[in-house]
Amino acid sequence: MEVTKITLFGGYGKDGSAEKVKEFSMEVGDIVSIVGPTGCGKTTLINDIELFANQNTPSGRRVSINGEPVPEDFIFDPANHPIALISQHTNFLSDLPVEEFLAIHATVRGAQDVESIVGETLDFANELTGEAIMKDIAMTELSGGQTRSLLIADAVVIGNAPIILLDEIENAGIHRTKALELLKRYKKIFVFVTHDPCIALMSDFRIVMQNGAMQQLITTQPEEKKVAGKMKQIDDMMLDFRQIIRSGDELSESIFNESFKVLTF
């Protein structure tokens, strides 16, 4: 079955009152952000989506796919699972070497050419990391950023899931706007849990959470899109500064001031 739309029906917040957002749908190509202060229930919300909540989780939420109840084989066989959740975990517990692990995962997912898909996954991951991931290294030895990068690459390339949930992609030092650009090449539904204004405004719409409940659904208007473009320039500038410092150079006042001149606003 091809997934084209996923719908979430609201449940209850931490105080037991009904959520203000009663229902929202995401379609292929949509980018959605979930925002709100720490502890407001953002991660719980994406966990509900990933588990295909059917009023059987503490929030009482419900999920439907293409307007229908979720098929059983989606729930019981993770290889048929249309959702990939990139959690906040920054370490693997698997004790296998990277290449072997990816090869098994690709086999589970029914890949025809395991070797090339593993290669593509590593290439994708290495576009996001600082130092490249070696294929013979144990998964447990990867750094936080390498782990997150590999998780994203694995979900998109090997998992090839139509719905991808990413929990705070901005953590762990990966290049997040680069990640967003790479991800956009794939026709999928992306849901970002984020504290990053840049990611939030680059989304098509955002859910605002408070006290365990969905409070507002805000569609990003053209004016905010324009702001997002300006913000990205500032973000890129900060990344340039980061790169200068990471590579052992010094950040002089003249380089700093020059950087501002490039801004187009």
Residue choice 105, 175, 176, 206 for contact with other proteins (CB under 8 A)? 105
Task: Give the span between the Cα atoms of 239 and 236, in whole angstroms.
Answer: 5
Which residues on adjacent β-strands are paired with residue 7? Answer: 25, 64
Residue choice 86, 98, 117, 163 for contact with other proteins (CB under 8 A)? 86
DSSP-derived letter for residue 172 is G
Task: Return the range that interacts with other proteins (CB under 8 A); candidates 23-31, 153-161, 226-234, 250-258.
Answer: 153-161
CA distances from 197 to 34, 40, 121 (A): 11, 17, 28
Nearest-approach distance from CB 140 to other proteins, in angstroms: 10
Residue choice 42, 61, 62, 109 for contact with other proteins (CB under 8 A)? 109
67 binds other proteins (CB under 8 A): no
User: What count of other Cβ atoms lies within 10 Å of the Cβ of residue 32?
Assistant: 19
Nearest-approach distance from CB 23 to other proteins, in angstroms: 23
- 235 burial type by CB count under 10 A (0-12 exposed, 13-18 middle, 19+ buried): middle
Which residues fall within 8 angstroms of residue 239, CB to CB, at 6 or more apart? Answer: 175, 177
Tokens representing 116 are 């090339």
- Pattern 30-49, binding to other proteins, x per CB under 8 A? -----------------x--
Task: Return the range that interacts with other proteins (CB under 8 A); candidates 73-81, 173-181, 235-243, 256-264.
Answer: 73-81
85 binds other proteins (CB under 8 A): yes
What is Dmax (Cα atoms) for the chain?
A: 61
* Contact residues for other proteins, defined by CB under 8 A: 47, 51, 56-58, 76, 78-79, 81, 84-87, 89, 92-96, 101, 104-105, 107-109, 151, 154-155, 158-159
